Each structure stands twice: as C-alpha cells, then as structure tokens.
C-alpha cells in the first residue's frame, strides 16, 4: 500500500484547488468602464456576456430618478430602453451562477420577474415578482446555479419605465476540456512518483 505524507497530501490538494479555480471565477460587473455616453448599447462579449436590449448610462445624467439612485458603485448602470424585455446570455461555452444585482426603476414603481435557461431549457423562474421603485436601489438575490441565459421581464413597457441595474454579480464556469484534465492527472502522477522516490531514499 502506498503511503503519502501529510505534506504531499497538502501539496496535491493545493494543486487541485489551483486547477479548479481556473474553471470558476466570481465577478461583479459594474459597467463603469463603458464610459458615460447615455443610451449606449452594451456590446456583445462585455464581461463575458451578450447583453440583449440592454444599454449603459451615467446615473448622474438623470439626477433624482431611479437611474441615479440605482447606482451603488461608480457612476454607471445598465438599463433596458423603454421597458423592453431583456436577456443576458453567456458569450462562451459553459454556464454561470446568477447570484444577484441591484435594481431600481426610472420613474414609476414596477415589478420584475426572472427566468434562468440552460441550452434552451427553462431551469428556473421566479414564483413571485420583485417590486422596484425610483426612490432607492433594491438588491435582488436569486442564487441560480448552472444557467447560460437570464431573462428579465418588467410589468410596464413605455417611456419612463426602464429598470436600472448595478453590480451584476455572477460566478462563471468555463467548460473544461479533456486535454486539460488529462494534463492534471499526469502532473499528479508525477508528484506521487517523486514522493515515492524520496521515501525509498
């Protein structure tokens, strides 16, 4: 029976954690590096996502409105023009966990509902709606794991009913390829071999 020293176990565990970290990374997207051009559509691939019917603007350009009070970090927020239904799709292969985000409503109180999809199959949907106002930002936390598309629906659609979103918080899980996994196995086998040689000496 092969006995592995405690130091070797700790080392191997550290290597495994290091490789695992490559395929999962938490992110808070605050939209502040997009500039302050109002009503600018967010380009595909920003933050690793495609933003469908979602733009970015500086909240201070709309002082006193929900577009301003929804700002919780920096200066910018994302928004949906004229209250249109929107989606946020993972740009590459894999999936993501939607943890939550801050939301506010431009001028009028309204309700939001969400759906989480994976490979075209509905995985999650909110049973209750979330009320948002122009007076303050509301943190909406869903903790949905393993989706590749987030749909956002609002109860009103017209001028003045856009929602604003800040600090979109997710954890992205990139698809790990077989060669990378095989490489990890080879490294671990090599480490075990070195440990055995040292014990024999």
Residue whose structure tokens are 């502040």: 32
Q: How far apart are CA 52 and CA 34, in angstroms?
A: 16
- Going by pLDDT thresholds of 50, 70 and 90, the confidence category of residue 91 is very high
For the chain, give the number of residues: 201
Q: What is the average pLDDT across 61-83?
A: 95
- When the pLDDT of each residue in the chain is averaged and rounded to a whole number, the result is 83
Report the percent of the chain where pLDDT is more than 70: 73
17 pLDDT exceeds 80? no
| Average pLDDT of the residues in 140-169 | 94
Chain CA centroid to CA 9, Å:
33
Of the pLDDT bands very low, low, confident and very high (cuts 50, 70, 90), residue 158 is confident
Rounded to whole angstroms, how far apart are CA atoms 80 and 39? 9
Helix (H) or strand (E) holding 150: strand 149-154
**Is the pLDDT score of 7 beyond 70?**
no
Min mean pLDDT across 31-40, 88-97, 120-129 is at: 31-40
Q: For residue 17, what is the DSSP state?
A: H
Supply the pTM of this predicted model.
0.76
> Rounded to the nearest 10 degrees, what angle do helices 178-200 and 6-21 cross at?
170
Compute the distance between CA of residue 90 and CA of residue 97 in angstroms, rounded to an integer. 10
């Amino acid at each position: 029976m092969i006995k592995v020293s405690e130091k070797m176990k700790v080392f191997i565990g550290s290597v495994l954690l290091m490789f695992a970290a490559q395929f999962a990374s938490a992110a808070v997207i605050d939209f502040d590096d997009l500039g302050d051009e109002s009503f600018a559509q967010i380009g595909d691939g920003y933050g690793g996502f495609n933003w469908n019917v979602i733009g970015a603007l500086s909240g201070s350009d709309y002082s006193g409105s929900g577009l301003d009070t929804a700002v919780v970090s920096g200066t910018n927020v994302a928004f949906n023009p004229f209250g249109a239904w929107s989606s946020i799709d993972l740009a590459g292969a894999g999936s993501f966990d939607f943890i939550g985000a801050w939301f506010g409503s431009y001028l009028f109180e309204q309700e939001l509902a969400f759906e989480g999809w994976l490979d075209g199959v509905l995985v999650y949907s909110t049973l209750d709606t979330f009320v948002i106002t122009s007076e303050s930002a509301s943190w909406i936390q869903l903790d949905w794991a393993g989706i590749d598309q987030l749909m956002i629906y609002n109860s009103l659609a017209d001028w003045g009913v856009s929602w604003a979103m800040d600090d979109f918080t997710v954890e992205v899980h990139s698809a790990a390829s077989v060669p990378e996994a095989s490489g990890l196995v080879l490294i671990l086998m090599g480490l075990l071999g070195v440990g055995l040689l040292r014990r024999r000496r």
